[in-house]
Amino acid sequence: MLLGRFLGEKVGLFIPSSTTAAMSGKQGTTGLALFLSLWSFAEGGKLLVVPQDGSHWLSMRVVVEMLGKRGHDVVVVIPEATLLMGTSDYYTVKAYRVPYTQESLDKFYHSIGENVFVDLPFPKKITRVFENISQFTTMFSSACRDFLYNKELIKYLEDSKFDAVLMDPVFPCGPIIAEYLSVPSVYFMRGLPCGLDFKATQCPNPLSYVPRIFTSNSDHMTFTQRVKNLLVNAAENLLCYLLYSQYESLASEFLQREVTILELFSKASIWLLRYNFVFEYSRPVMPNMVFIGGTNCEQKKTLSKEFESIVNASGEHGFVVFSLGSMVSEIPMKKAMQIAEAFGTIPQTVLWRYTGEAPPNLANNTKLIKWLPQNDLLAHPKARAFITHGGSHGIYEGICNGVPMVLMPLFGDQMDNAKRVESRGAGVTLNVLEMTSKDLSDALNAVINDKSYKENIMRLSALHLDRPIHPLDLAVYWVEFVMRHKGAQHLRPAAHDLNWIQYHSLDVIAFLLAVVLITSFISLKCCLFCCRKCFCKKGRVSKSSKSKAE
């Protein structure tokens, strides 16, 4: 009884930060002070974090810092060379040596940004994609190897007796280390290639209305799109092999038993998924999937004086925010000039995040800025449109703040993200390589002046913001749940214990078919036998009676 009461009281004290923010009248902050003062994990737990670099880290960091602030002993394991990860007051960083330098890493990320502007013929494009994936996998799997074979670090992790591991499974080193340490794990992510997240959770994934990655399909597909969906689904296996085969060998070697990536991933207790069904299409889900889309977009700060004066000067026409994400801050001059030309045609002020050389045709209404407080700008009432590459973080900032979008997807899932916004009538997608100056100008005029875009994004925004608990609190809650209960075994479906044939009841169907066939066969034989007996007898009887009659 006591344990139940103890937990009941603890849980009773879980105050969503959005709630406390509202209570304290500070809408827009997460009301952390009251949140913290009211609820804390008994004595604090021990949490290991294995993140993925780049924009992935930006949203995970918010959750990790909040967990640190809530009194947990949080250890984040990062490579020595990193793009965005670093130290913080709220967690301990343990860095491991990697077989590449900071310089080569920066060059690698820079090259990805550069490559998207190189227009190649289709076969070369595909080859380039596979080359990139191969390079990416080789680089990070070698980093993973160095992590796993860093004896000192592994000894430290073993001795630390963590309650849980929070990880981004895009870097599949986390699942290996969680398995090695026998610690329950929480995954934090947007999606995995080849639907590995759905396979690993035993979540049904119907091909007929759940669009596959890279197809740009929506949930309403034509026959041709459904054919494409099925073919892409089949082809994804090759991608999976490319991405995971090196990790699979490494895991088997390190854990000293044959293991597949799917097996490792299927051990996850909770999947924190950085989306919700305002952005994603409705589809089957599993009870251990938690939807936390929009953790990143509501920590609004007041604009600095510099930005405040720019946006105020924009007058009644307002302003447009343009950024292609953390990995692309400059673009080829020809493209930049095209874009600058388009901006010159609209009456809005444009704030363009750009570190490259200024295009000579830059109009007066366009400001090139090295860094933008993107979410705070979008939250300003004068924000009229948001030009984005379609990363899920940016899109959620657009949704949160109700700003219609012009999407210029560059790589990865951005094309699919853009499609989702476009299919809701809340944005226009452009092909950054093929678009002309007029295309961009038209797209901007459409999303700014055609009221339907604003209405649609406002509808999405209203749905997204109407929720019983803030996604950040939900993320923190579930990490702590796994820490408290040493996993979430009750949410694990029994499907994990069935093989493919059993799962689809093929053995049962085959058995019942066999029974029906055998029964029918025997019945038929019996009938035939009876008939024959009957007719023979009759024949004989009629013969004998005939002879008697004769």
Kindly tell me which of 186 and 435 has the beta carbon lying closer to a second copy: 186
Q: 3-state DSSP call for residue 290?
A: strand
Two tokens at 198? Answer: 């759905």
Give me the least distance between CB of 174 and a second copy, in Å please: 23
Residues 479-538 binding a second copy (CB under 8 A) are 481, 484-485, 490-495, 497-498, 502-505, 507-509, 511-512
User: What are the strands of the beta sheet with 73-79, ordered from one edge?
Assistant: 92-96, 73-79, 46-50, 164-167, 185-189, 270-273, 289-291
Residues 188-227 binding a second copy (CB under 8 A) are 203-204, 206-209, 219-220, 223, 226-227
Query: How far is CA 89 from each of CA 92, 298, 515, rounded to the nearest angstrom?
Result: 8, 22, 68
Whether the Cβ atoms of residue 153 and residue 147 lie closer than 8 Å to each other: yes
- Out of 182, 364, 381, 548, the only residue in the binding site for a second copy (CB under 8 A) is 381
User: What are the strands of the beta sheet with 366-369, ordered from one edge?
Assistant: 366-369, 349-353, 319-323, 383-388, 405-407, 427-429
- Out of 86, 99, 284, 347, the only residue in the binding site for a second copy (CB under 8 A) is 284
Q: 3-state DSSP call for residue 370?
A: coil
- Out of 40, 305, 467, 544, the only residue in the binding site for a second copy (CB under 8 A) is 467
Give me the least distance between CB of 379 and a second copy, in Å please: 9
Which amino acid appears at position 371 of this protein?
W
With contacts defined by CB under 8 A, name the span among 274-282, 333-341, 364-372, 409-417 that binds a second copy. Answer: 274-282
- Out of 287, 347, 356, 539, the only residue in the binding site for a second copy (CB under 8 A) is 287
CA distance 85 to 94: 11
Give me the least distance between CB of 35 and a second copy, in Å please: 11
Quick check: 422 binds a second copy (CB under 8 A)?
A: no
Give me the least distance between CB of 285 and a second copy, in Å please: 6
Query: How far is CA 422 from each of CA 378, 412, 418, rounded to the nearest angstrom?
Result: 19, 17, 6
CA distance 355 to 408: 18
Residues 389-418 binding a second copy (CB under 8 A) are 400-402
Give me the least distance between CB of 470 and a second copy, in Å please: 8
- Beta partners for residue 388, in sequence order: 323, 407
Kindly tell me which of 12 and 360 has the beta carbon lying closer to a second copy: 12
Two tokens at 266? Answer: 């299927």
CA distance 505 to 502: 5
Residues 9-38 binding a second copy (CB under 8 A) are 9-16, 18-19, 21-23, 27, 38
Give me the least distance between CB of 313 and a second copy, in Å please: 20
> How many residues form the binding site for a second copy (CB under 8 A)?
80
